[in-house]
Amino acid sequence: MSRVAAYAQRLAALPRALAILELHPAGLPLADLAGELAVLPEDLREVFMAYYLADLVELGSFEQPVVEFFAPEAGDASDEDPATAQWVRVVTQDPERELGVDHLSAEQLGRLFEAGTDLQALEPGNETLRCALDSFQAALWPAEGPAGAEWRASTAQQLHQAAQDRRRVRITYVRQWHPGSGERVIEPYRLVRTRRGWEVDAGPADDIAPVRTFLVSGIQTCEVLDESFAVPLDVDALLVAQRAPVTVELVVPQERRWAVDRYAESVTVLADDEESVSLRADLLPPVEQRLGLALLLCGPDAFVVAPRALEDSGAHLATRLLSHHGYI
């Protein structure tokens, strides 16, 4: 077993150790607790020390640490050195809550794993991270891991390397704003991580735009070619313009505010009451489509305050959808 894997195994014992100590408010000898967990006492002390010191740093002198090392004969006045103390106890009613392990939903755990695979895409040689992800995956998905997350990470890694090497890439892409999919050769300029996941800004310039943005989640196939490309001299300006947001002010029902958060890069609350909220949202192109989707999800009580040129975005998108599905 590698050193990293061994430490990960010891760390995994921490929630169980806290749960056992919660049942013994008077504390337990460290050796007895280690025997119950099938780990060495010195290994358990190392993990407890890391946890103990983290609590001291976070809580300062205003609260007691969750884990306390002590000597039974000293009672509550114990100031035993944690590096040598033979007994340990908890001084909270819910140590697992302090640790955070009991309050992570499946969705949060999935996001944590995806964040790790995203980082692995940019650091393929990081064996410590790879080991942690393997352990994470084995614990959460014993049979098969989340293939979607692994595919996106692998594709992101290919695109990142292609951008570094200035190599063209052939992709099959499911279009975000128009129906269907298609194959095209792109020139990846940079890979970026946004709230929507990995995205690649790429050329070459065409009749529509000098730079296109592709969601990695929409890439079905990805092949790095032996063809090289030259980066435009004004690529920095092109990339800034590609991601320049348009500010929109709108009013939506309180219970539908999440729809604006979903499609905007950032949202500022201007005013709100029990029924509605006035927002300032920054939207990336295509602005009318993103705004239209947000308005449709927010319902008929949502409306645009400014700019007036975008006030019919919801109606325009609804008309297109009805026409596409043959209702008009």
Domain ranges of the chain: 3-102, 144-241, 245-324
Residue % of the chain over a pLDDT of 90: 25
Say what the pTM is. 0.49
The amino acid present at 225, given as its one-letter code, is L
Q: Which of 27-31, 52-56, 137-141, 233-237 has the weakest average pLDDT?
A: 52-56
Q: Which residues of 57-81 are buried (b: 16+ CB within 10 A; e: fewer)?
A: eeeeeeeebbbbbbbeeeeeebebe
Please give the structure tokens belonging to residue 114.
Answer: 């995806």
Residue 321 burial (10 A CB sphere; 0-12, 13-18, 19+): middle
Q: What pLDDT score does 194 carry?
A: 77
Residue 14 burial (10 A CB sphere; 0-12, 13-18, 19+): buried
- The confidence band for 51, taking pLDDT boundaries of 50, 70 and 90, is low
Q: Which CATH architecture has domain 245-324?
A: 2-Layer Sandwich (3.30)
List the one residue out of 18, 1, 14, 81 whose CA is nearest residue 50. Answer: 14
Strands (E), 147-256: 167-174, 181-194, 197-203, 212-215, 219-228, 246-253
| Cα distance between residue 164 and residue 35, in whole Å | 51
| Cα distance between residue 121 and residue 142, in whole Å | 22
| Cα distance between residue 174 and residue 154, in whole Å | 18
| pLDDT per position as a tens digit, 262-320 | 889 889 999 988 899 999 999 988 899 899 999 999 999 999 999 999 999 999 988 88
- The confidence band for 55, taking pLDDT boundaries of 50, 70 and 90, is very low
